[in-house]
Amino acid sequence: MAYRGSMRAMIFAVWNLLCLVAVASADQQSPDVTQAVNEIIAACAILPMNTIEEPLSAKLEEFLRQSSETKSAKSSDLTDLFAQLPTDTEKGLEQVKDPRARDFFFSAYFTCIRQQTSLKLKSWNIPLE
């Protein structure tokens, strides 16, 4: 029970952080995709996410770059991106052992990433459809 309460506390901390973090880009002409990815991941840092930070950064950068070039973005592509991440690695399992808690944790983490990505795209005048 205490574990569930601490997970809830982390999730609420993330949502509070979402309310406080502004991820607006000053340069509308050519967005700095690498900086945007760093801001998005930093805004959603809950626990050390070293196991997925590198692949998430690479895939998210590719998604944002393509969205910036085409001036469009699909929510389903972002969902597919999350499905490709190694959330069941041994190192990831060390941090969140219970499968239900792990599912809840990654669901909340990816919800945060999705929200921050949507805000970043919105600041670039690109709707996430």
Count of residues making up the chain: 129
pLDDT in tens, 40-83: 988 887 655 566 788 889 999 999 999 999 999 999 999 999 88
Here the tokens at position 103 are 């599912």
CA atoms of 90 and 82, how far apart (whole Å): 18
Q: Which range (14-23, 31-40, 72-81) has the least confidence? A: 14-23
Higher pLDDT, 75 or 94: 75
Taking alpha carbons only, the member of 36, 64, 56 closest to residue 128 is 64
Q: State the DSSP H helix or E strand holding residue 123, giving kind and residue range, or none if neither.
A: helix 99-123
CA atoms of 7 and 4, how far apart (whole Å): 5
3-state per-residue secondary structure call for 47-107: CCCHHHHHHHHHHHHHHHHHHHHHCCECHHHHHHHHHCCCCCCHHHHHHCCCHHHHHHHHH
